[in-house]
Each structure stands twice: as C-alpha cells, then as structure tokens.
Structure 1
Amino acid sequence: MTGEKNLTSLIQKMTPELQLGEYVFTTVKTTDQIERKDIICEFREQEGITLILRREKADNLNLKYEFIASWITLKIHSSLDAIGLTAIFSSELAKHEISCNVIAGYYHDHIFVNTKDGEKTIEVLKNLSQHYIG
C-alpha cells in the first residue's frame, strides 16, 4: 500500500490522535535488560542508543530522562517521501510555542510534545487540518 504524497490531502486528512500515557526519551549503552515489547522506538547513535519508552517502564528500570512527552499519531498513511508535511505542522506548532519531536513510521507520522502541550497540540493540528487550503 502506497502512502499519500499530496501535501494538501495530507494536511486536510491527517487526523491527530493523542495516545494514552506519558512517554520519555532516554539513552542506554545496551538494550539487553529491556524487553523488545517495551520499546516504542529505538535509534542507534554514536554516543548511545536512544529509546522512547512509557514513563512508568523507564521508572521501573531506573533510567534517567529529562523530557516527559505526550504522543500524537497522525492517522493518515503518509508516504516516506512526501514533501512538506513535517514542515507545515511543525511551523504551525512553533507559532503556538509548542516544541515537537517527530518520528516517521512506515504508515504514520508520530509527534512527541511536552505533556503540558498534548491537548493544545491536538487543537492546533485539528484547526490546521480544517483550514488548510494549500
């Protein structure tokens, strides 16, 4: 199944969905003590392995973190080579002083924002979607 590439269609149909719970970004040297099912996202960098986990899982594992996030999924299958989607919604969030960390999955884009901004982010994205004309 091919993802959507048309920017207007992507913005108008993105349907942001707030996932339940709190999430954190942490870094480890090895994932040997962490079950794969508990890892939301993993990215290997030269300095260490960045993980996104549920906050309670990180707490149970005594992992350090600084950023507690809400997780928002854009419920449209966006193409990995679509142009402009991240730029449009991240610019709109910046206008509302909302910092975002974006991860593109195969099917959807995922946005992590400070927990205090979760509901506000949904409102901003829905408003963008409803009023975007390209």
Structure 2
Amino acid sequence: MTGETDLARLLAGMRPERRPGSYVFATLPDDAVPAGLDPAMRFREAEGTTLILTGDEAARAGLDGAFPCGWITLAVHSSLSAVGFLAAVTARLAEAGIAVNAVSAFHHDHLFVPLARADETMALLRDLAGPSEP
C-alpha cells in the first residue's frame, strides 16, 4: 500500500491521536545507544545520534532530555511522496505559535509539540480536518 497523496483527502482523513506520556529529544555523540533503551525514534546525524524517548526513560539512562513534548500521530496513511500535507499542518500550528517537530514514517506522520500545548494542538488539528464522518 503506497498511501494517500491527495491533499484534501489527507487533511479530511487525518485523525490526530495523542499518545500517552511525555517525550524528550536527547543526543548522543555516537551511535552507542545505552542498553535497555527503546527509543521511539533514532536518527544519525553528522553531529551525533538523536533519540526521541520518554522523559522517564531518558532520566533513567542519565540522558539530558530537551523539548518536553507530546506525541501526536496523524492517523491517515500518507504517501511518502505526498505534497503539502505537513506544510498545511505545520502552517496551521505556526499561526497559533506552536513549535512542532515532525517525523515522517512509512505509514504516518508524527508531531512532537510542546507538552503544555498538546491538547490545544489536538483541537487545532481536529478543526483543520473538519467534521468527522458519522
């Protein structure tokens, strides 16, 4: 399955789902992720490895977590080649002054937003999607 590419369908079909808990970003100077960690995301950059994991997990591993955030999944199967979907979503959040770190995975897009504004973000995303079908 390749996912949806039509912007109107993507926006109308997105069902934002907030995952429980608080997440943080952490960085390691190399790709040596401490044993026992199960990060939601791991990404290697030239400067080091970025992890997104729960704040509790970061603290247990002695990692400094930055950007305490809520994790929202846009539960519509967006194509990796879809044009404008994240731009529309992030533009709406920018209008409200909400910082967002977006991660695109194979099936869905995921948003990491300031924890204190996660509920507000959910409301804005539901509004952007429009009325849900009965």
Please tell me the TM-score bracket, short chain as reference: over 0.9
Distance apart, 1:65 and its partner CA = 2.0
Which residue does the alignment assign to 2:18? Answer: 18
Aligned to 1:82: 82
- How much has 1:30 moved relative to structure 2? 3.3
Query: Which residue identity does 1:59 align to in structure 2?
Result: A
CA shift, 1:35, in A, is: 3.2
The DSSP-based 3-state class of the residue aligned with 2:121 is: helix
Summarize deviations over 1:78-111 as a string: whole Å, max 9, x none: 0000000010010000111111000001000000
What do residues 29-81 of structure 1 show as CA deviations (whole Å, max 9, x unaligned)? 23342336x11101101110000011100000110122101000000000000
**What RMSD in Å do the two structures reach over aligned CA positions?**
1.2
Asked if the contact 2:14/2:75 (under 8 Å) is kept, the reply is yes
Question: Which residues of structure 2 form unaligned runs of 5+?
Answer: none
Runs of 4+ in 1 over 4 A off after TM superposition: none
Rounded to whole Å, the distance in 1 between the matches of 2:31 and 2:79 is 31
TM-score when normalising by structure 2: 0.93
1:6-36 CA distance string (max 9 Å, x none)? 0000001111000000001000123342336
* 2:101 counterpart of 1:101: yes
Counting matched residue pairs gives 130
**Alpha carbons 2:59, 2:65 under 8 Å: kept:** no
Q: Unpaired segments of 5 or more residues in structure 1?
A: none
Q: What is the alpha-carbon distance in structure 2 between the residues aligned to residue 34 and residue 85 of structure 1?
A: 36
Partner SS, residue 12 of structure 1: helix
Overall identity of the aligned pairs, in %: 38
- The correspondence of residues 29-68 of structure 1 with structure 2, limited to 5 A, is 29-35=30-36, 38-68=38-68
**Could you state the TM-score of these two structures normalised by the residue count of structure 1?**
0.93
